Amino acid sequence: MADKSNGYLADSFINIPEIKFTKLFINGEFVDAISGKRFETIDPRNGEVIARVAEGDTEDVDLAVKAARQAFDHGPWPRMPGHARGRLMMKFADLVEQHAEEAAALDTMDAGKLYSIGKLLDIPVGAASLRYYAGAADKIHGETLKMSRELHGYTLVEPVGVVGHIIPWNFPTNMFFMKTAPALAAGCTMVVKPAEQTPLSALFYAYLSKLAGIPDGVLNVVTGFGATAGAAIASHMDIDKVSFTGSTEVGRLVMQAAATSNLKHVSLELGGKSPVIVFDDADPDGEVCVAGSRVFVQEGIYDEVVNKLVEKAKNWTVGDPFDPNVKQGPQVDKKQFERVLSYIEQGKRDGASLLFGGKQHGKNGYYIQPTIFIDVEDHMVVAQEEIFGPVMSLMKFKTIEEAIERANSTKYGLAAGIVTKNIDTANTVSRSIRAGVVWINCYFAFDNDCPYGGYKLSGFGRDLGMEALYKYTQTKSVVTPIYNSPWL
């Protein structure tokens, strides 16, 4: 694998933007934390401090919720027609797109995201999310009902109220818009807590939302840590809904806090250990195989796939994410970096064969070599737990029934991949896999119109698509007697 990891080449690729927004965004203003505290956000390319960001805590969340509550209960946002919300969201989208380079650079510095992908994909996709839901804002229909007596009944699909969004660091931009755009379209107001590792782009988007004319108090951003600011959101008595993306472990805490506080609605998008199942009739040159963390390969094609994967890993360029030739950047922070390395050690101890990689890449920053284990058994930790790093486990299988059973023998159910040219195999496996999305001969085929979310311990509720919008609404039935109706 090629080395581009020194982390100091950045200036030759782009202009590193000035960090303009490091305070909390509450009621349309950037403000310090009440405590005055700040925390460091780190460049994972070199471990250096990028900026010191206001550290929100319970009191700051209180202020943000108050602003959101006021904006929902008395403000224009839920009271304006859906198309008017849509117009402001369209403007917001245009601003995001116009600032794609700056936003992408923030994510690259803060999260180690590939800059060229960010500029060409993550940021435009964020804008596209806003546009998708902008177009949905005037298409939220209730129903008139078929009542069994002389009653006229209908449903009103109303915004749920104040929403708390707690989002992770792996896709700072896409997560931000995946959460906020449908909630905005529905007419909700919100408090967003970005991950402590990646607070910068969220604050930048808050600024752009203000430029776009989203009213004050509708979109608030409180940067800070999960145990403090995150917990304050999950347990807040005046938040009507919490939407969380992150680990299964923290998802449980969020749900518990919701249960013990005001029974707020919860949606969770949690961990996964997604299988990719490669059948004998698959095209072994397809790109799909590189994506999964548990790759089941049918015995007839197993050796060929292993060779191709090693070949691919050798040519995989790891390094500075600002470099357009790089395919893999660093892990987000030291903690993740060490966690991934410890999983690799665990795999070795459990008896999996390390075929490729397995170590830190270079000397600076949090880079890890692309790592491939073979002879992995289903019960091993590397086959069961979400590693969240460039570690692939390869397993061999014989029959379709066996593949289904083994693919499902996980507590997770987020996604799955099937690689086959056989329509019957594809259809059977699609229904049999207990996962929220199944990609056939493709992978990571996300789309704004395509719902995404988990089965089992991968969570509940769906992001993306119209389903995500309904997640931020609640239904009211209205019933009144009707007299002398010519039909029922």
Partner 1 sequence: MLGLIRFCSSMAAAARRLSSLISRSLSSSSSSTSPSSLLFLRGGSCWGRSLSRYSTAAVVENPIIPPVDVKYSKLLIDGQFVDSASGKTFATYDPRTGDVITHVAEGDAEDINRAVTAARKAFDEGPWPKMSAYERSRILFKFADLVEKHSEELAALETWNSGKLFRQAAKDEIPMFVRLFRYYAGWADKIHGLTVPADGPHHVQTLHEPIGVAGQIIPWNFPLIMFVWKVGPALACGNTIVLKTAEQTPLTALYAGKLLHEAGLPPGVLNIVSGFGPTAGAALASHMDVDKLAFTGSTETGKTVLELAAKSNLKPVTLELGGKSPFIVFADADIDRAVELAHFALFFNQVSSVIILSLVIGFIPQKPDVAKEPLFYGSRTPSNEEGQCCCAGSRTYVHESVYDEFVEKAAARARRRTVGDPFKEDIEQGPQIDPEQFEKILRYIKSGIESNAKLECGGDKIGSKGYFIQPTVFSDVKDDMLIAQDEIFGPVQSILKFRDLDEVIRRANSTRYGLASGVFTKNIDTANTLSRALRAGTVWVNCFDVFDAAIPFGGYKMSGIGREKGVYSLDNYLQVKAVVTPLKDPAWL
Q: At what angle do helices 100-111 and 172-186 cross, to 10 degrees?
A: 120
Contact assessment for residue 57 and residue 232, using Cβ atoms and an 8 Å cutoff: yes
Q: Is 70 in the site for partner 1 (CB under 8 A)?
A: no
- Between 98 and 353, CB nearer to partner 1: 98
**Residue 237 CA: distances (Å) to CA of 75, 218, 251, 470:** 20, 18, 18, 22
Q: Is 134 in the site for partner 1 (CB under 8 A)?
A: yes
CA dist 386 and 383 (Å) reads: 8
Closest CA to 76 of 203, 212, 222, 215: 215
Contact assessment for residue 379 and residue 254, using Cβ atoms and an 8 Å cutoff: no
Closest CA to 219 of 236, 234, 204: 204
Q: At what angle do helices 100-111 and 82-98 cross, to 10 degrees?
A: 70
Region for 81 from its dihedrals, namely left if φ exceeds 0, alpha if ψ lies in -120 to 50, beta otherwise:
beta
Give the per-residue contact string, 418-457, with partner 1 (x = CB under 8 A; - = no): -----xx--xx--xx---------------xx--------
Contact assessment for residue 44 and residue 51, using Cβ atoms and an 8 Å cutoff: no
Q: Is 81 in the site for partner 1 (CB under 8 A)?
A: yes
Report the residue from 86, 161, 168, 187 that binds partner 1 according to the rule CB under 8 A.
86
- Between 304 and 467, CB nearer to partner 1: 467
Report the residue from 38, 152, 339, 396 that binds partner 1 according to the rule CB under 8 A.
152
Give catalytic residues, as residue numbers.
269
CA dist 73 and 254 (Å) reads: 25
Instruction: Tell me how far, at minimum, the Cβ of 67 lies from partner 1, in Å.
Output: 18
Instruction: Tell me how far, at minimum, the Cβ of 202 lies from partner 1, in Å.
Output: 24
Q: Is 121 in the site for partner 1 (CB under 8 A)?
A: no
Instruction: Tell me how far, at minimum, the Cβ of 242 lies from partner 1, in Å.
Output: 26
Spell out the residues 6+ positions from residue 322 whose beta carbon is closer than 8 angstroms to its own. Answer: 9, 10, 13, 14, 105, 108, 115
Report the residue from 83, 334, 335, 349 that binds partner 1 according to the rule CB under 8 A.
83
Instruction: Tell me how far, at minimum, the Cβ of 76 lies from partner 1, in Å.
Output: 5
Q: Is 466 in the site for partner 1 (CB under 8 A)?
A: yes
Q: Is 18 in the site for partner 1 (CB under 8 A)?
A: no
CB under 8 A: which stretch of 126-134, 173-181, 218-226, 354-362 binds partner 1? 126-134
Q: Is 148 in the site for partner 1 (CB under 8 A)?
A: no
CB under 8 A: which stretch of 138-146, 173-181, 193-201, 250-258 binds partner 1? 138-146
Instruction: Tell me how far, at minimum, the Cβ of 241 lies from partner 1, in Å.
Output: 23
What are the structure tokens assigned to 124, written together?
């435009």
Contact residues for partner 1, defined by CB under 8 A: 76, 79-81, 83-84, 86-87, 90, 128, 131-132, 134-139, 141, 152, 423-424, 427-428, 431-432, 448-449, 466, 480-487
